[in-house]
Structure 1
């Protein structure tokens, strides 16, 4: 017998907000898992109600690993809390989720773990849909960021003038923290609306401005709506150099724009950034593709700390991992989709990267010194791709006049592994 998981979304309205199918499922359930708050929303049922242990992720993993041939519920009826995890007598486990289980919810975790064929999902209205209904916002035109499983700093990546955002809060402290983050990022005049217990009898809406926010902490179940007022922020590569703390080891703005373009960020790719320095390439790669991830390889501890600070400021820290020096640390890293070599270029590094790239993977390498430029020319002759010499000149004063100041030329090799 194959066990089955039924994931039922429930909102602040509780039982009254559920449709007939969800009610019938719960009325016939033998085992129901959920948070204590969710279980308290249910009427008297025959089922064995089991609140999640802390940490919930560990308890959930145990439940998903349990099969009907494993532990039992203690008696023939499947009722009564014995403290053992496992399915009911028919091999079915019912799990409560907040709102729409497939919207930043537990449903996605369960489907990934056991497969869609073993999971039935019964959603209710999501918190985002309810918030937009209250605010009169078009849900398709709203940016949604979760602070439940990510660092709050990730919100900074979504900020730009005129944009409406919904932030799924971790708890009652999130609104005040968001107000401070907005103020710290020149978005202090943005309006904040905190929507608590949406759809339930205790629903409450509080409004204010980020820079003057002084509301006391409210209900832990809340969504924060932000109407951004501040600078326009582009996701296109080539941001000013002064946006990144650095010690001089930074890929300059024009070359950075060309380099990130050559790296061609795409959905759910993993980038290896070797010799990361300030992290400007990693950060602009991540800002260009919100589903991307980066492993940055940097041997200098001070630069690594600087890199982390820059990534945090730009809101992408949660998708960036800092590793040690290359090539020593490459062998233990997950296989990359794309590799950039901006520092530490050597034959050993090229050989390790080439071995790690699978078919279709891309390598982009920049070289300043003649020795490294010759090395790239050698590998270009061996593997093909494109080899470019990039030179940039910037207007600068010459006494009372103006002249062109050339930067050091860069040789860039771009190749796809075949």
Structure 2
């Protein structure tokens, strides 16, 4: 294996935009990998230029696994560590075997053109995710940069903005940033009719629409469901009890509509969820809800628990909202690592008794929630109580 992979960032301005150090690296290279577009930006160099084949991920994996007599040079767009191939290479072979020479990122160039403060801008990629992932980032008054997959992305974003109540948002499509073919197309999402332009583009969005808090407890009518849904007040308490944190994985057992899983993901944008749902129609509804809320790319839906639990990675937290019994609790408890958290909700007396027994065995906090809502009673109003919920919250020692 070669000692080093050298990842060189290159912008649309090509060779002229590179630092002297980056030029020297490429001039002395033996083999250079990159996209056809990136390789075309280079002048005559002595290296063997090799374009990525499709799918690029498989070709890159083969290059990283292969034995090379000399260092391997890889071209990346802009800053290789900003949604770029540099991150993939480092994760695969280790930082000690990678040298990264960054260029200016597309986000920095876009903010320079727009006069935006990069520290106050949200960045979403559709290069490795579907366009519906942008929904999760929408909020009134927020500025977003969307990294496009291709020339069709801007129109898809405009459609998504309209479908989600953000039709008055301002859009700017910035093409070939930094190059001699740089172009900026501006407009409003609701009137967007620009023809597809250059595939190398980034979309800037100044959001105008409803305020969308990331805190748990969204209205029940924002989810499609057949009645199997953790209601808004209990859902807020449940996600709060689960305490989502950076890069954690949640098992959502008996997921139903997926409302708890979705709000876990919205509360922590780096989180992931494996949802277990035995009913096929509910699983499809869960998938639709995840797409609607822009978190589809971070949730995996499996079948019934505990039968399919062995196919899931180790969780950082487990929520049990349905199918509660001793066997399921045994499997969930065994799957949790030290410090992992389990939250279980019970409605029936039998399941509440079960949680009481497990609480006596393992400790934690046992709480009973009763929620009442004002409702009509004839010509007057009264308080309508929902079924009380017993919730057990415990961290594995």
Paired position in structure 1 for 2:48? 48
What are the Cα deviations for residues 327-356 of structure 1, in whole angstroms up to 9, with x where unaligned? 101122111000000011011100111111
What is the number of equivalent residue pairs in this alignment?
Answer: 397
Matched, 1:411 2:387: no
1:59 match: secondary structure: helix
2:234 match: secondary structure: helix
Paired position in structure 2 for 1:18? 18
Shift of 1:365: 0.1
What are the Cα deviations for residues 268-315 of structure 1, in whole angstroms up to 9, with x where unaligned? 000000000100000000000000000000000010000000000000
Superposed counterparts of 1:102-181, under 5 Å:
102-181=81-160
What are the Cα deviations for residues 186-210 of structure 1, in whole angstroms up to 9, with x where unaligned? 1011111000000000000000111
Using structure 1 for the length normalisation, give the TM-score. 0.94
In the alignment, the residues of structure 2 paired with residue 386 and residue 5 of structure 1 have an alpha-carbon distance, to the nearest angstrom, of 51
Q: Which runs of 5+ in 2 are unaligned?
A: none
Alignment partner of 1:261 out of 240, 262, 281: 240
Shift of 1:2: 4.3
In the alignment, the residues of structure 1 paired with residue 40 and residue 312 of structure 2 have an alpha-carbon distance, to the nearest angstrom, of 44
Alignment partner of 2:356 out of 374, 377, 391: 377
Matched, 1:310 2:283: no
Using structure 2 for the length normalisation, give the TM-score. 0.99
In the alignment, the residues of structure 2 paired with residue 304 and residue 65 of structure 1 have an alpha-carbon distance, to the nearest angstrom, of 38
Shift of 1:3: 2.4
What are the Cα deviations for residues 6-28 of structure 1, in whole angstroms up to 9, with x where unaligned? 10000000000000000010111
Please tell me whether the aligned partners of residues 156 and 314 of structure 1 are also in contact (alpha carbons under 8 angstroms).
yes
Which aligned segments of 4 or more residues in structure 1 are displaced greater than 3 angstroms? none
Paired position in structure 2 for 1:323? 302
Matched, 1:212 2:212: no
Paired position in structure 1 for 2:223? 244
In the alignment, the residues of structure 2 paired with residue 401 and residue 51 of structure 1 have an alpha-carbon distance, to the nearest angstrom, of 74
In the alignment, the residues of structure 1 paired with residue 63 and residue 299 of structure 2 have an alpha-carbon distance, to the nearest angstrom, of 30
Alignment partner of 2:376 out of 380, 394, 397: 397
Please tell me whether the aligned partners of residues 35 and 51 of structure 2 are also in contact (alpha carbons under 8 angstroms).
yes
Matched, 1:37 2:37: yes
What are the Cα deviations for residues 21-74 of structure 1, in whole angstroms up to 9, with x where unaligned? 000101111111100100000001111111111111111111101123xxxxxx
Paired position in structure 2 for 1:78? none
In the alignment, the residues of structure 2 paired with residue 175 and residue 351 of structure 1 have an alpha-carbon distance, to the nearest angstrom, of 49
What are the Cα deviations for residues 90-133 of structure 1, in whole angstroms up to 9, with x where unaligned? x2001000000000000000000000011000000000000000
Alignment partner of 1:348 out of 327, 330, 345: 327
Please tell me whether the aligned partners of residues 192 and 227 of structure 1 are also in contact (alpha carbons under 8 angstroms).
yes
Q: Which runs of 5+ in 1 are unaligned?
A: 69-86
Cα RMSD after superposing both structures? 0.7
